[in-house]
Copies of this chain bind each other. A is one copy, B any other.
Amino acid sequence: MKSSALTLSIIAAMNLSLSAGELRDMAAKAGLKPIPQDEATLMKMVDNPKNPVTAKKVELGKKLYFDPRLSKSGLISCNTCHNLATGGVDGVGPATGHMWRQNPHHLNSPTVYNAVFASKQFWDGRSPDLEDQAQGPMQAHPEMAATPEHVAAVINSIPEYVQEFRAAFDKPDMKPTLKDAADAIGAYERTLVTPSRYDDYLNGDEKAMTPEEKEGMKIFIQKGCASCHNGVALGGTMQPFPVAGKYKYANVGDFKGDKNGMVKTPTLRNILETRPYFHNGAVWNIEEAIKIMGETQLGTKISDEEAKKIKAFFGALTGKKPKVEYPMLPASTDKTPKPDLN
């Protein structure tokens, strides 16, 4: 008995090991890619040659990311909607900002974590990169509602900020603008990458994922989920939506995607931390979201059991967040514009 139990467990382990190796091949064929383990490779991948990621720029960008004074009211920062404490999102349905206004299209705030791996920014993909994207919410009326003049006036009224910009951009006479602030914020956001057990597995560590997670990953690939949720981000590219069925929450908001009806696929990294789901935050339960996607995007039925296993796989996508030392911001001065709550 003892010896036969041992034999069985060796066979099980061999099967698992074999299936795991197969799974890694399946993942590669489906276009799933890990976050590189090698720091230099990763840094090269997240860098923007037009706005190089440097330590000084990242530190400045972090301060600006958390600084509510860039908003018209003085109350809303990038971190309000893309909260680094809660998976990089706000956890509410529609993004809610200045004067408690909600996004007019009922759009949900996407996570800032791993956003660098997306090929486009915003749900309609209208922005090519994080630096360009960061200019939007600062000015959007239902978000931070600031004018470029307000942002520039706040920054230039605070001598420590001006000095930091000049050092970070190596321009001794710089008078920082909203665009410069967005560049610094973009550089910071490029560092918000969260490697997970899934990456460890793809990078060769067989034991990084549990058998259930691997099974869920296999179903995820076999069902065709990776036809949209692929690449390093498991998402981040523009896709037609819906493809196969009627999207039951189409009536929440009036968002139609880009001019071709294409919508950006959200990343699945940290997805268990970023409820609610879909572009309009209409669904709160991940298994429900998985099943709806199968139906409307893939024209296939995903069973409760399969959805549960895919959810288990998603657990392996919950990543390690970078440590964030909360910034102590330089004080306002008499020249700093007063916040306007209206």
Contacts and interface: CB of A to CB of B under 8 A. Distances in A.
Interface string A64-93: 001111000111000010011111001111
B332 A275 contact: yes
Contacts of A341: 92-94, 96, 100, 102
B86 A68 contact: yes
Interface stretch (A225-233, A235-243, A319-327): A319-327
A207 interface: no
A39 interface: no
A89 to B, nearest CB: 10
B284 A338 contact: yes
A331 interface: yes
A326 B94 CA distance: 25
Given A85-B328, A321-B328, A74 B92 contact: yes
Contact of A85 (B66, B86, B90): B66
Contact of A68 (B68, B83, B93, B332): B83
A254 interface: no
Contact of A87 (B91, B272, B318, B331): B331
A91 B272 contact: no
Interface in A112-128: none
A99 interface: yes
A8 interface: no
Interface in A302-342: 318, 321, 323-329, 331-332, 334, 338-339, 341
Q: What DSSP secondary structure best describes chain A's contact surface? A: loop
A155 to B, nearest CB: 15
A86 to B, nearest CB: 5
A329 B284 contact: no
A273 interface: yes
Contact of A339 (B91, B325, B329): B91
A253 to B, nearest CB: 14
A84 B73 CA distance: 18
A74 B109 CA distance: 13
A285 interface: yes
B329 A85 contact: yes
Given A96-B341, A273-B331, A324 B326 contact: yes
A92 B339 contact: yes
Contact of A84 (B86, B284, B326): B326
Nearest to A73: B92
A341 B92 CA distance: 8
A259 to B, nearest CB: 30
Which 10 pairs between the two chains have the least Cβ-Cβ distance?
A324-B326, A100-B100, A273-B331, A326-B326, A85-B329, A92-B339, A321-B328, A74-B91, A74-B92, A99-B100
